[in-house]
Homo-oligomer: A and B are copies of this chain.
Amino acid sequence: MTQANSPVKVNSKEVAQELLDQYDTFLFDCDGVLWLGSHLLPHINETLEMLQSHGKKLYFVTNNSTKSRTAYTKKFASFGISVTEDQIFTSGYASALYVRDTLKLTPGKDKVWIFGEAGISEELKLMGIESLGCNDPRLDEPFDISSSPFLKDGLDPDVKCVIAGLDTKINYHRLAVTLQYLQQPDVKFVATNIDSTYPNKGRILPGAGSMIECVAFSAGRKPAACGKPNPNMLNAIVTAKKIDRSKCCMVGDRLNTDMRFGIEGKLGGTLLVLTGIETEEKALDSTGDHPLPKYYADKLGDLYELSK
């Protein structure tokens, strides 16, 4: 046994086996763990197949809100990985659950204004909740305060909540109308997730958190954040899938979201992989303000390579 707070590197068959033996359920972050953008990382399929052949249950927990769970199954399929919708939890889905179950919006009556992408609106639609904004092409037009179709007849009084997330179609029109709704004190404010950046093709790009910060600052409000590391997301998964937390391991590439999610959620294990945003130095740095994982590995595929 190693001492507490000293992460163990998965770099031998013995450590890999020790890790596999302890857990019957694995929760995976996707981007930075399984793939980087459209590039699959090495030996991912083999690792997931090995885990399934050992009877492990696999769930995929992503803060990417741009795609719905249905769209995500297609992304997995494009990499030759067979995953069903009920194995996937996105921050867009978590936000929709929060709006329905915690904020108690009434389907068929109350509406949501979305600053974000289709991964949010599609999940709301499945729950019967109508949304406005999002990828509406009229928002692609330059903003004119007098003629914007979202303002000229006033705000929609049925909008009871704003959900904000990553929106690569961010523009002034979307920001300005979102702010008008957030200025209504009775309109709730929900954020998909707070990641400031995400990795893509060797670069670090602006994430949901940075855009949400923009609308939050202009409105002088703080949102309820639904994605990792918020415990509501883990509670929903644990309840829906009847997971024994002590036998569950969270696998991710971020200390402040994925590892925090697993540790504060009192999961038995956490595994940090270094294929995404973090470095080995940071993974071992006990002086930072981030929690340390139980295990770390250069890449997820090492579990397969070391177990062969």
Question: Interface with B: A13-21, A51-59, A193-201, which one?
Answer: A193-201
Partner of A201, one of B146, B168, B207: B146
Residue A105 is within 8 A (CB to CB) of chain B in the complex: no
Chain B residue numbers with a CB within 8 Å of A196 are 217-218, 220
Known A196-B218, A213-B213: A203·B172 in contact at CB below 8 Å: no
Partner of A175, one of B170, B180, B209, B218: B170
Chain B residue numbers with a CB within 8 Å of A176 are 203, 205-206
- CB of A195 to closest CB in B, whole Å: 10
13 residue pairs A–B, Cβ–Cβ below 8 Å: A151-B203, A168-B172, A169-B172, A170-B172, A175-B210, A179-B197, A179-B205, A179-B206, A183-B204, A206-B215, A209-B218, A210-B218, A214-B214
Residue A143 is within 8 A (CB to CB) of chain B in the complex: yes
Within 8 A of B (CB), among A205-228: 205-207, 209-211, 213-215, 217-218, 220
Residue A171 is within 8 A (CB to CB) of chain B in the complex: yes
Residue A238 is within 8 A (CB to CB) of chain B in the complex: no
Interface residues of A, dominant DSSP:
mixed
- CB of A99 to closest CB in B, whole Å: 24
Bound complex: CA A218 to CA B199 (Å): 12
Partner of A170, one of B168, B171, B220: B171
Q: Are A213 and B217 in contact (CB under 8 A)?
A: yes
Q: Are B145 and A168 in contact (CB under 8 A)?
A: no
Chain B residue numbers with a CB within 8 Å of A206 are 172, 175-176, 179, 214-215, 218
- CB of A147 to closest CB in B, whole Å: 11
Residue of B nearest to A174 (CB): B170
- How does the 8 Å CB contact mask read for A150-193 relative to B, with 1 for contact and 0 for none? 01000000000000000011111001100110010000000000
**Which of A197, A204, A210, A218 has the most chain B CB atoms closer than 10 A to its own CB?**
A218
Residue of B nearest to A173 (CB): B168
Q: Are B205 and A145 in contact (CB under 8 A)?
A: yes
Chain B residue numbers with a CB within 8 Å of A175 are 170, 206, 210
Partner of A209, one of B172, B197, B217: B217
Chain B residue numbers with a CB within 8 Å of A183 are 204
- CB of A54 to closest CB in B, whole Å: 37
Q: Are B201 and A179 in contact (CB under 8 A)?
A: no
Partner of A179, one of B143, B179, B204: B204
Bound complex: CA A218 to CA B277 (Å): 13
Bound complex: CA A169 to CA B171 (Å): 7
Known A171-B171, A172-B168, A197-B179: A207·B218 in contact at CB below 8 Å: yes
Bound complex: CA A203 to CA B155 (Å): 12
Chain B residue numbers with a CB within 8 Å of A180 are 203
- How does the 8 Å CB contact mask read for A249-292 relative to B, with 1 for contact and 0 for none? 00000000000000000000000000000000000000000000
Chain B residue numbers with a CB within 8 Å of A172 are 168-170, 206
